[in-house]
Amino acid sequence: MKVFNLKSVIWKEGKYYVAQCLNFEVNSFGRTKKEAIANLGEAIDLFLEDQPKLKLEKIERPEIVTRSLQCANA
């Protein structure tokens, strides 16, 4: 069995915390950070059950970048 180190990011959105795995397109949420991370783990497990071959995106030193956006509809 091989061990993979997955990179995730978590942030607060309204009343909930959102957790996103950067290696796979998998997200989840919870009322606390701990719950969001646990739910993300379950979501990743379910995602991997349906994958015949694992394709892991290698993420090195992720960085948050801010970009300004002008929107006439806001």
- Give the structural domain span for 8: 1-74
Instruction: Say how far apart CA 25 and CA 44 lie, in whole Å.
Output: 9
Instruction: Give pLDDT, residue 1.
Output: 67
Entry field: residues in the chain = 74
CATH number at residue 66: 3.30.160
Query: Per-residue pLDDT tens for 12-57?
Result: 999 999 999 999 889 999 999 999 999 999 999 999 888 888 777 7
* Nearest Cα residue to 7 out of 63, 67, 53: 63
The count of domains in the chain is: 1
Instruction: Say how far apart CA 56 and CA 69 lie, in whole Å.
Output: 31
